[in-house]
Amino acid sequence: MTNILNVYTSNKNYLSTIIEIVNSIIAKKKIYICVAATHLIMECQKNPKLLSGVNKAALVTTDGMPLVWLSKIYGNKHATRVYGPILTIILSKVSEVKKFKVYILGGSKGQSKELSNNLKEIFPKLNIVGTSDTPIRPIPEKDNNKILNLINKSKADIVFVGLGCPTQELWMIKNRNKVNSSVLIGVGAAFDFITGNVKQAPSWIQNGGLEWLFRLIQEPKRLWKRYCILNTQFVILITKQLFKDFILRENNRE
């Protein structure tokens, strides 16, 4: 694992992430998985409950390229991105083959069904056993209880949770013990990208770590604070961490 501002990322690739998920379902083990970018790291700095809950996740994958680069700086030479939208597609394919049951939770009005339809077009035999939209966030308690009942009645193995960061992580932390499904996974922007509601950055922009700029240009009013303020704060804090770690290593050499 890599310590990034006290959030411990898992240093997994797609294959090892999928293996962890499949094994958990077979063993009927209850887990939740956080797909982390710098936004989640920074939200954890403000919320001790969120930080504690994220670090209790079975996996915290490196969704953002800055986290991949930091993992490499800290010695994980084979660090790679585990990107929420791609992980959703791969896991849907595996679920089709393994006959796992999938529930879709999240999105604006009609979006969870739209995502279901899109995934079914790609994977016709994928068993999607239910969908629930979440236009109001956080989900009101009365509505949340109804959703929990629907998920449990569906007997889903996997729940794709797309409530946005950090609402989806807080939902998984709060409701993990109330949901019978083996795997809860917060996939965030995957809902918008797979349904085509938001245009996805070309791969060369993603690999260069500039996806944030691509998204900011598309949605400046909604994302300016996240990318202009939080990203700047992240750079400052991570520079301090790297400097402290460098000094510590140098002192240990003496």
CATH of the domain at 52: 3.40.50
Furthest-apart CA atoms within the chain: distance in Å: 62
For residue 243, being part of any structural domain is answered with no
Kindly tell me if the per-residue pLDDT of 64 is higher than 90: no
Question: How many domains in the chain?
Answer: 1
Predicted confidence (pLDDT) per residue in 76-127, tens digit:
888 899 999 999 999 999 999 999 999 999 988 999 999 999 999 999 999 9
Residue 228 lies in a domain: no
At a CB cut-off of 8 Å and minimum separation 6, what does 75 contact? Answer: none
234 part of a folded domain: no
Residue 125 lies in a domain: yes
Residue 220 lies in a domain: no
Q: What is the pTM of this model?
A: 0.91
Domain span including residue 204: 2-210
Q: Is residue 221 part of a domain?
A: no
In a domain, 219, yes or no: no
The whole-angstrom separation of Cα 47 and Cα 220 is 25
Cβ neighbours, 10 Å, residue 203: 9
pLDDT in tens, 174-208: 999 999 999 999 997 889 889 877 777 677 777 77
Give domain status of residue 56, yes or no.
yes
Q: pLDDT-derived band of residue 244, with 50, 70 and 90 as boundaries? A: confident
